Structure 1
Amino acid sequence: LSSAAKADTISEAKAENGFMLYSGAALALNTELLAAFRKQYPFVKESKLVRAGGPALFERIETEYRAGRVLGDVIFTAGTVWPKWVEEGKILKYDSPEYKYYPPEYKIDGYVAAVRAATMTLATNTQRVGKQIRPRRYQDLLRPEFKDGVIGIADARQSNQGREWYTVTRHYLGRDFMVKLAQQRPLVIRGGGDLIARLISGEVGVAVQTSDRAIAAKRKGAPIEVAWPEEGVVLAPGYAGIMAKAPHPATAKLFMDFLMGGKGLDILATKGAYHILRQGTQPAPDVPGVSALKIWKFDEKKIAEMTNEINKEFSELFT
Structure 2
Amino acid sequence: MTTNWMRLTVSALAICASTSLAFSQSLDELVAAAKKEGSLTTIALPHDWCGYGDVIAGFKAKYGLEVNELNPDAGSGDEIEAIKANKGNTGPQAPDVIDVGLSFGPSAKAEGLIQPYKVSTWDTIPDSAKDADGYWYGDYYGVMSFEVNTDIVKDVPKDWADLLKPDYANAVALAGDPRSANQAIQAVYAAGLSAAKGDAAKAADEGLKFFAELNKAGNFVPVTGKAASLAQGATPIVLRWDYNALADKDTLKGNPPVEVVIPASGVVAGVYVQAISAFAPHPNAAKLWMEYLYSDEGQLGWLKGYCHPIRFNDLAKNGKIPADLLAKMPPAEAYATAVFPSLAEQNASKEIIAKQWDTVVGASVAK
TM-score normalized with structure 2 length: 0.74
Q: Work out the CA distance in 2 between the residues paired with 1:314 and 1:6.
A: 50
Q: Do 1:118 and 1:212's aligned partners in 2 also have CA atoms closer than 8 Å?
A: yes
Q: Is 1:135 equivalent to 2:135 in the alignment? A: no
Q: Is 1:124 equivalent to 2:170 in the alignment? A: no
The equivalent of 1:215 in structure 2 is 246
Q: Is 1:240 equivalent to 2:285 in the alignment? A: no
The equivalent of 2:223 in structure 1 is 190
User: Counterparts in 2 of 1:63-74, with a 5 A limit?
Assistant: 63-65=85-87, 67=88, 71-74=94-97
The equivalent of 1:25 in structure 2 is 46
The equivalent of 2:183 in structure 1 is 161
Question: 3-state SS of the aligned residue for 2:99?
Answer: strand
Question: 3-state SS of the aligned residue for 1:124?
Answer: strand
Q: Is 1:303 equivalent to 2:349 in the alignment? A: yes
Q: Work out the CA distance in 2 between the residues paired with 1:124 and 1:31.
A: 24
CA shift for structure 1 position 179: 4.3
CA shift for structure 1 position 136: 1.3
The equivalent of 1:34 in structure 2 is 56
The equivalent of 1:112 in structure 2 is 136
The equivalent of 2:295 in structure 1 is 261
Q: Do 1:121 and 1:209's aligned partners in 2 also have CA atoms closer than 8 Å?
A: yes
Q: Return structure 1 stretches of 4+ with deviation > 4 angstroms.
A: 27-31, 67-70, 316-319
Given the superposition, is the C-alpha separation of residues 58 and 186 from structure 1 closer, same or farther in structure 2, using an over 3 Å criterion?
Answer: farther
Superposition RMSD in Å: 3.0
1:144-176 CA-partner distances (Å, limit 9, x unpaired): 322x21333344235432222113432452435
Q: Work out the CA distance in 2 between the residues paired with 1:72 and 1:205.
A: 34
The equivalent of 2:108 in structure 1 is 85
Given the superposition, is the C-alpha separation of residues 158 and 96 from structure 1 closer, same or farther in structure 2, using an over 3 Å criterion?
Answer: closer
Q: Is 1:314 equivalent to 2:361 in the alignment? A: yes
1:166-198 CA-partner distances (Å, limit 9, x unpaired): 1343245243544443343123343243xx322
Q: Do 2:96 and 2:286's aligned partners in 1 also have CA atoms closer than 8 Å?
A: yes
Given the superposition, is the C-alpha separation of residues 58 and 191 from structure 1 closer, same or farther in structure 2, using an over 3 Å criterion?
Answer: farther
1:115-140 CA-partner distances (Å, limit 9, x unpaired): 1223211222222222xx31111122
The equivalent of 1:276 in structure 2 is 309
Given the superposition, is the C-alpha separation of residues 314 and 118 from structure 1 closer, same or farther in structure 2, using an over 3 Å criterion?
Answer: farther
5+ residue gaps in structure 1?
none
Given the superposition, is the C-alpha separation of residues 297 and 69 from structure 1 closer, same or farther in structure 2, using an over 3 Å criterion?
Answer: same
Q: Work out the CA distance in 1 between the residues paired with 2:69 and 2:262.
A: 32
Query: How many pairs align?
Result: 310
The equivalent of 2:285 in structure 1 is 251
Question: 3-state SS of the aligned residue for 2:292?
Answer: helix
Given the superposition, is the C-alpha separation of residues 94 and 79 from structure 1 closer, same or farther in structure 2, using an over 3 Å criterion?
Answer: closer
The equivalent of 2:68 in structure 1 is 48
Q: Do 1:233 and 1:293's aligned partners in 2 also have CA atoms closer than 8 Å?
A: no
Question: 3-state SS of the aligned residue for 2:221?
Answer: strand
CA shift for structure 1 position 219: 1.5
Once the two structures are overlaid, the 10-residue window that deviates more, 49-58 or 247-256, is 49-58
Given the superposition, is the C-alpha separation of residues 303 and 257 from structure 1 closer, same or farther in structure 2, using an over 3 Å criterion?
Answer: farther
Q: Do 2:144 and 2:269's aligned partners in 1 also have CA atoms closer than 8 Å?
A: yes
Q: Work out the CA distance in 2 between the residues paired with 1:210 and 1:268.
A: 14
Q: Do 1:23 and 1:30's aligned partners in 2 also have CA atoms closer than 8 Å?
A: no
Given the superposition, is the C-alpha separation of residues 119 and 204 from structure 1 closer, same or farther in structure 2, using an over 3 Å criterion?
Answer: same
CA shift for structure 1 position 225: 0.6
Given the superposition, is the C-alpha separation of residues 62 and 68 from structure 1 closer, same or farther in structure 2, using an over 3 Å criterion?
Answer: same
The amino acid of 2:359's aligned partner reads K
The amino acid of 1:184's aligned partner reads A
Q: Do 1:24 and 1:57's aligned partners in 2 also have CA atoms closer than 8 Å?
A: no
Q: Do 2:193 and 2:266's aligned partners in 1 also have CA atoms closer than 8 Å?
A: no
The amino acid of 1:64's aligned partner reads N
The equivalent of 1:286 in structure 2 is 328
- Determine which of 231, 240, 248 is the counterpart of 1:200: 231
Q: Do 1:179 and 1:317's aligned partners in 2 also have CA atoms closer than 8 Å?
A: no
Given the superposition, is the C-alpha separation of residues 187 and 49 from structure 1 closer, same or farther in structure 2, using an over 3 Å criterion?
Answer: same
Once the two structures are overlaid, the 10-residue window that deviates more, 155-164 or 220-229, is 155-164
**Aligned-pair identity (%):** 23
The equivalent of 2:98 in structure 1 is 75
The amino acid of 2:99's aligned partner reads F
CA shift for structure 1 position 49: 1.7
The equivalent of 2:80 in structure 1 is 58
TM-score normalized with structure 1 length: 0.84
